[in-house]
Amino acid sequence: MRMRTIVLAALTFLAANGAARANEHGGVGPDEALARLAQGNRRFMAASLNHPDQGAVRRIEQAAGQTPFAIILTCSDSRVPPEVIFDQGLGDLFVIRVAGNVADDIGIASIEYAAEHLGTHLCVVLGHERCGAVTAAVKGDALPGHLLNLMEMLAPAVAATSGQPGDRVADAVTANVELTVERLRECAPILNGLVDEGELQVVGAEYDLDTGEVVFTQPVTRTVARRAPAPAASRAEPVAASPASAHGGH
Ligand SMILES: [Zn+2]
C-alpha cells in the first residue's frame, strides 16, 4: 500500500510538473510578457545579461513543444536580434523578421499561428532607428527586383508623414509601426477576434541603435482600454486609430 501511495504521488508530481511547463508561457498574460521584455531589455542596456533559457535542460524541455510568451515582428536588420536585445532564450519568443518589419500575408499567418495555436497573448511590432528599408522608401528611388514590393508595403507610412517637419525617416519608422499595429489589430478573421476577446494585445515599440533601449509606444489595446483605463504611471499612451490605417484588408 505504501509503495502504491508513493507511485501515485510520483505520478501526480510528474503530471503537475508537466502541466506547469506546458503553461509556463502560454499562460503568461500580456502585461507580464511586456514586463519580461522590458526587464530583459534593461539587462541588455546595462550589459548585465542573464542569458536565460539557453542551456541543455531548456533545449530538452522545449523539444516536445513550444509556448513562447511573446510574438515579435521586427526588421531583418542584423543589429536588432530580439533574443539578444530582450535577453531571452529558447522557446521564449516567436519571431517574425522581415526588412522594414512589415506585415505581409505570410507574416500575418505566422502571427495567427502563434496567437491562436500556441496561445501567445502579446505581439510586439518592433521598428528601429535609421531603418534602411524605411530610409529607401522615404527617398523614393526606383529599386530593382522584389525590393519594389517592400517599398509598396512601406508607402502608407511614408505618405502618412509626408510634409511633416523633423526627421522624415524617424517619423516614417514610427508611422510604420503604428500602421502595422493597427493593421494587425483589425486583421480578420483571427487576430481581430482575439484582440476583441482580450486574448491578444498588439503593441508597438522602437529600438534605439545607440543606447539599446526599446521604448514601447502602444501598450494598451482598444479592448483593454475599454475595459480598464491605463494606469497613470504608464509611460506610454493609447494611440488613436490613424485615418491612414489599412482597415479590413486582413
Ligand atoms: Zn530596418
Helix (H, G, I), strand (E, B) or coil at 203: strand
How much is the pLDDT for 20? 35
199: domain CATH number? 3.40.1050.10
Indicate the pLDDT class of residue 61, thresholds 50, 70 and 90: very high
Of 31, 68, 67, which is closest to residue 201 (Cα–Cα)? Answer: 31
Kindly give the distance from the C-alpha atom of residue 109 to the centroid of ligand 1, in angstroms, as a whole number: 21
> How confident is the model over 93-142, as pLDDT tens digits?
999 999 999 999 999 999 999 999 999 999 999 999 999 999 999 999 88
CA dihedral 182, 185, 187, 192 (to 10 degrees): -160
How much is the pLDDT for 219? 52
Residues measured by CB to lie within 5 Å of ligand 1, the ion: 75, 77, 131
Residue 246 domain flag = no
Residue 133 domain flag = yes
43, 49 in Cβ contact below 8 A?
yes
Kindly give the distance from the C-alpha atom of residue 172 to the centroid of ligand 1, in angstroms, as a whole number: 12
212, 82 in Cβ contact below 8 A?
no
Backbone conformation region of residue 167, classed left if phi is above 0, alpha if psi is from -120 to 50, else beta: beta
Kindly give the distance from the C-alpha atom of residue 132 to the centroid of ligand 1, in angstroms, as a whole number: 5
Opening angle at CA 152, ends 150 and 193, nearest 5: 85
Kindly give the distance from the C-alpha atom of residue 47 to the centroid of ligand 1, in angstroms, as a whole number: 23
Residue 237 domain flag = no
Kindly give the distance from the C-alpha atom of residue 130 to the centroid of ligand 1, in angstroms, as a whole number: 7
Kindly give the distance from the C-alpha atom of residue 80 to the centroid of ligand 1, in angstroms, as a whole number: 8
Kindly give the distance from the C-alpha atom of residue 61 to the centroid of ligand 1, in angstroms, as a whole number: 33
Kindly give the distance from the C-alpha atom of residue 37 to the centroid of ligand 1, in angstroms, as a whole number: 20
> How confident is the model over 96-106, as pLDDT tens digits?
999 999 999 99
Question: Average model confidence (pLDDT) for the chain?
Answer: 83
Kindly give the distance from the C-alpha atom of residue 53 to the centroid of ligand 1, in angstroms, as a whole number: 27
Which residue type is seen at 199?
A: E
Indicate the pLDDT class of residue 217, thresholds 50, 70 and 90: confident
Higher pLDDT, 175 or 226: 175
Taking the C-alpha atoms of residue 198 and residue 135, their distance in angstroms, rounded to an integer, is 35
> How confident is the model over 141-163, as pLDDT tens digits?
889 999 999 999 999 999 999 99
Residue 229 domain flag = no
Kindly give the distance from the C-alpha atom of residue 240 to the centroid of ligand 1, in angstroms, as a whole number: 25
Judged against a pLDDT cut of 80, whether residue 239 lies above it is answered with: no
Kindly give the distance from the C-alpha atom of residue 100 to the centroid of ligand 1, in angstroms, as a whole number: 5
Q: Which residue has the cell 509611460?
A: 235
Q: Which residue has the cell 505566422?
A: 110
Kindly give the distance from the C-alpha atom of residue 50 to the centroid of ligand 1, in angstroms, as a whole number: 26
Q: Which residues pair with 73 in a beta bridge?
A: 96, 125
Residue 108 domain flag = yes
pLDDT cut 70: percent of the chain above it: 76
71 membership: H or E segment, kind and range: strand 70-74
Higher pLDDT, 240 or 62: 62
Kindly give the distance from the C-alpha atom of residue 33 to the centroid of ligand 1, in angstroms, as a whole number: 24
Q: Could you count the other beta carbons within 10 Å of the beta carbon of residue 241?
A: 13
Judged against a pLDDT cut of 60, whether residue 223 lies above it is answered with: no
Kindly give the distance from the C-alpha atom of residue 77 to the centroid of ligand 1, in angstroms, as a whole number: 5
- Could you say which DSSP state residue 182 is in? H
Indicate the pLDDT class of residue 27, thresholds 50, 70 and 90: confident
Kindly give the distance from the C-alpha atom of residue 222 to the centroid of ligand 1, in angstroms, as a whole number: 27
Of 82, 126, 105, which is closest to residue 190 (Cα–Cα)? Answer: 105
Kindly give the distance from the C-alpha atom of residue 16 to the centroid of ligand 1, in angstroms, as a whole number: 43
Number of structural domains the chain divides into: 1
Judged against a pLDDT cut of 60, whether residue 6 lies above it is answered with: no
Indicate the pLDDT class of residue 22, thresholds 50, 70 and 90: very low
Q: Which residue has the cell 522584389?
A: 146
Quote the domain boundaries for residue 148.
2-224
- Say if residue 219 is preceded by a cis peptide, omega within 30 of 0: no
